Amino acid sequence: MVLVYYFIVLIIGYLLGSLNMSLLLSKVYGTDVRKYGSGNAGTTNTLRTFGKKAAFISLLGDFLKGIIACLIGYLIIENILGSTNGLFIAGFGAICGHIWPVFFKFKGGKGVLTTFSVILMMDWHLALTLLGIFIIIVAAFRIVSLGSVIVATLFPILSLIGLYSERSNFFIGASVILGALVIFLHRSNMKRIINGSESKIGKKSA
């Protein structure tokens, strides 16, 4: 029965995550954001394609769905099993839903913002440290994907060395999974960064 409860919160998180805000906004604007810029259904490409207002709505929606999924997962599993693991299970489901949304033919974004919201729920001290590093990198190079990859690499490392506090094996394992997923989804971005063709903030989509 334990696995059944975990599966339930995973599915709840996945369905919430599948409400990809960039793709919902595409319906409003009458054009698919995936046809422009990087082809990614995320906040950065929404900014390039639809502008600041749409990007803010996308950012807020994709951030909040990770928070809500984690809260639901935590409350269900904690009340039934007395475990806090439901927070990550539901959050991971939300991330997967954002990347592979069932409502949009399984083609979504890279899940960085939703991943951050899940990390924030897991450990806000570490999340804010990673956010600070991300902001510094993006401000210096104006490349969002570079900041995402570096932070994704640092997340499991900082978790393992116990920055701020010692963490459980479950937490460290979760950090490895989330970090590896973000890096894997940015493999094409890393190639463009290396050859100097990656898009920078401030560059409009054609």
The pLDDT profile of the chain, 206 residues, written as one tens digit per residue, is: 889 999 999 999 999 999 999 999 999 999 999 998 778 888 888 988 999 999 999 999 999 999 999 999 999 999 999 999 999 999 999 999 999 999 999 999 999 999 999 999 999 999 999 999 999 999 999 999 999 999 999 999 999 998 778 889 999 999 999 999 999 999 999 999 999 989 888 665 44
Q: What's the rounded Cα separation, in Å, for the pair 35 and 62?
A: 20
The pTM for the full model equals 0.91
Please state the separation of Cα 93 from the chain's center in Å: 11
From 3, 9, 124, select the one nearest 74 (Cα to Cα). Answer: 9
3-state secondary structure of 154: helix
